[in-house]
Amino acid sequence: MIAGALLGKNVRPQMLNILATVAKQKRIRISERAHAGLAKGASRGVLAGPRLVVSHEKILTLDQEGCTVREIGDQMALARLGSSRSEGASPSAWRTHLGLTEF
């Protein structure tokens, strides 16, 4: 028995069940705290994940050259604009937000 080798010879299956239950509850509490922290940050407008640095000048230059929103996203190595589920992620909303000239 592997658990017996790790925890000692006198470990009973009931004790292993108790330890497994305690570990499961600990994972649940950690997950709840993480979700609560993300929700709190989201309510304050803080985004989780790595920061994305975007050159607005380059976006405007590509727009003036006649590139589509998809082409701008591809050239800037951005995710497809408008593929997000959040509101306001449509190409026209991105163009308005970035101050681009044509829709």
Where exactly are the structural domains of the chain?
2-43, 56-98
pLDDT of residue 72: 82
63 and 72 Cβ atoms separated by less than 8 Å: yes
81 and 89 Cβ atoms separated by less than 8 Å: yes
pLDDT of residue 80: 55
pLDDT of residue 48: 72
58 and 76 Cβ atoms separated by less than 8 Å: yes
pLDDT in tens, 42-75: 888 777 766 667 788 888 888 888 888 888 878 8
Structure tokens at 96: 């308005």
Q: Which of 10, 13, 9, 32 shows the shortest CA–CA distance to 21? A: 13
pLDDT at residue 85 tops 60: no
pLDDT in tens, 14-39: 888 999 999 999 999 999 999 999 88
